[in-house]
C-alpha cells in the first residue's frame, strides 16, 4: 500500500525561457501546449506531464510528487503520516486539478521540502509522446519519472523520515570523497524496480538537489543528448531535428563525462541546468528485486568515466 513511484517533479527557476529551450532543444522533452515563460509543463511518456518549471527565485527543486495506487492507499498513507505527527493538508481539489490527479495530499518533509502524494494521474495515450529532438523514449512506467539526489542538513533525520515513514528501502551506499579529507555517504533508496528514486546525502552543497535523472531507452539517446548539450551539431543535416544555428550552447554544458555508475550500473553523463544544479541523462541501469537484493557499500561512484569537467 506504499509509494509506487516518483511521479513528478517541479522546479522553481529564475529563467523559464532558458529552461524551455534546455528541455526541448537539448533534452528532447515534449512541451505541453499552454506553457509560457512563467509556467511550463513537460511530458516524457503517456502522462499529461512529468516535469513542471515555474518562475521563482530559488532555482531549486520546489516539490516532488509520489504516486500511490488508489484511494485506499492514499488514506492509509495519510494516517501513517499523521501518526508520525506530520502536518498533512488534504482535500485540496484545486491543487489536484492543477496537477491533473484525482486526489492528493501535501506536506513538508523535515527540512521543508514540499511533497505530494497522489493517485489517479491523467493518462493521454490518445496523444502520443513525441520527443522534440527524436529521443526514442524515456524509461518511466512502474519505475516513475526518474530520481534526484537530495542534499539534507541532517542525514539521520532524513533517513528516519524517508525510510521509516515514507517507506523507501535502502539499495546501497556510496562513500564519496569530496576532497580536503571530507567523505560524504550517499544513501540510495528505492520504492520500485528503479535502483533509486531518491538518493540522500548530508553534503556541503548550496542547493536542495545536486541533480535529477531522466533515463532514456537507448544508448544512442544518451549519445545524441551529449552532443546536443556539448554543442556538437547534429550530423543529419537534412533532418528536421537538427540543432538550430545559434542555439544557446552557452546556456548548458556537460559537467561530467560519460561514465558508468558502480551501484545502479547506469551509463550516463551530467550537464548543468539553467538553474545551476545538474541533470543526469542515462541508460542501461540494472533493477532491484526486493526478493533477492541485499545492500552493498561502494567506495567510488563510477566503474569508469564520469570525469568532472567543472572548473575546466
User: Which residues here bind Fe ion, judged by CB under 5 A?
Assistant: 213, 280
For the purposes of burial, counting CB atoms within 10 Å of the CB of 301, is it exposed (0-12), middle (13-18) or buried (19 or more)?
Answer: middle
Check if the beta carbon of residue 131 is closer than 8 Å to that of residue 80. Answer: no
Cβ closest to Fe ion, residue 102 vs residue 203 = 203
Cβ closest to Fe ion, residue 127 vs residue 308 = 308
- Cell numbers at residue 207, please? 542547493
Task: Find the shortest distance in angstroms from Cβ 266 to Fe ion.
Answer: 7
Check if the beta carbon of residue 169 is closer than 8 Å to that of residue 190. Answer: yes
CA dist 95 and 92 (Å) reads 6
For the purposes of burial, counting CB atoms within 10 Å of the CB of 1, is it exposed (0-12), middle (13-18) or buried (19 or more)?
Answer: middle
Task: Find the shortest distance in angstroms from Cβ 145 to Fe ion.
Answer: 13
CA dist 208 and 277 (Å) reads 9
Cβ closest to Fe ion, residue 60 vs residue 280 = 280
Cβ closest to Fe ion, residue 121 vs residue 279 = 279
- Cell numbers at residue 227, please? 552532443
Task: Find the shortest distance in angstroms from Cβ 147 to Fe ion.
Answer: 6
Cβ closest to Fe ion, residue 59 vs residue 264 = 264
Task: Find the shortest distance in angstroms from Cβ 203 to Fe ion.
Answer: 14
Alpha helices in the chain (DSSP H): 16-21, 71-83, 93-99, 155-159, 219-230
Cβ closest to Fe ion, residue 81 vs residue 267 = 267
**Other C-beta atoms lying within 10 Å of the C-beta of residue 38:** 10
Task: Find the shortest distance in angstroms from Cβ 280 to Fe ion.
Answer: 4
Task: Find the shortest distance in angstroms from Cβ 84 to Fe ion.
Answer: 28
- Which residues make beta-bridge pairs with 287? 194
Amino acid at each position: 500500500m506504499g509509494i509506487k513511484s516518483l511521479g513528478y517533479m517541479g522546479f522553481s527557476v529564475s529563467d523559464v525561457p532558458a529552461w524551455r529551450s534546455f528541455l526541448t532543444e537539448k533534452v528532447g522533452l515534449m512541451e505541453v501546449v499552454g506553457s509560457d515563460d512563467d509556467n511550463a509543463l513537460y511530458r516524457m511518456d503517456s502522462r499529461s506531464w512529468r516535469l513542471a518549471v515555474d518562475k521563482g527565485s530559488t532555482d531549486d527543486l520546489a516539490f516532488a510528487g509520489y504516486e500511490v495506487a488508489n484511494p485506499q492507499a492514499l488514506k492509509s498513507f495519510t494516517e501513517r503520516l499523521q501518526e508520525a505527527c506530520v502536518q498533512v493538508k488534504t482535500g485540496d481539489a484545486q491543487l489536484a486539478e492543477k496537477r491533473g490527479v484525482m486526489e492528493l495530499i501535501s506536506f513538508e518533509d523535515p527540512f521543508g521540502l514540499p511533497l505530494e502524494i497522489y493517485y489517479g494521474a491523467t493518462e493521454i495515450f490518445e496523444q502520443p509522446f513525441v520527443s522534440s529532438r527524436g529521443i526514442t523514449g524515456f524509461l518511466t512506467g512502474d519505475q516513475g519519472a526518474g530520481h534526484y539526489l537530495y542534499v539534507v542538513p541532517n542525514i539521520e533525520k532524513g533517513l528516519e523520515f524517508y525510510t521509516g515513514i515514507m517507506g523507501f528501502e535502502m539499495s546501497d551506499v556510496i562513500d564519496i570523497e569530496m576532497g580536503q579529507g571530507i567523505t560524504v555517504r550517499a544513501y540510495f533508496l528505492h520504492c520500485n524496480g528503479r535502483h533509486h528514486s531518491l538518493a540522500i546525502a548530508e553534503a556541503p552543497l548550496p542547493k536542495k538537489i545536486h541533480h535529477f535523472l531522466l533515463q532514456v531507452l537507448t544508448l544512442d539517446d544518451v549519445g545524441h543528448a551529449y552532443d546536443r548539450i556539448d554543442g556538437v551539431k547534429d550530423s543529419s543535416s537534412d533532418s528536421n531535428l537538427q540543432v538550430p544555428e545559434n542555439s544557446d550552447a552557452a546556456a548548458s554544458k556537460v559537467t561530467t563525462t560519460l561514465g558508468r555508475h558502480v551501484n545502479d550500473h547506469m551509463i550516463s553523463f551530467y550537464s548543468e541546468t539553467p538553474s545551476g544544479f545538474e541533470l543526469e541523462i542515462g541508460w542501461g541501469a540494472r533493477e532491484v528485486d526486493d526478493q533477492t537484493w541485499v545492500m552493498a557499500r561502494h567506495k567510488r561512484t563510477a566503474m569508469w568515466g564520469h570525469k568532472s569537467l567543472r572548473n575546466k
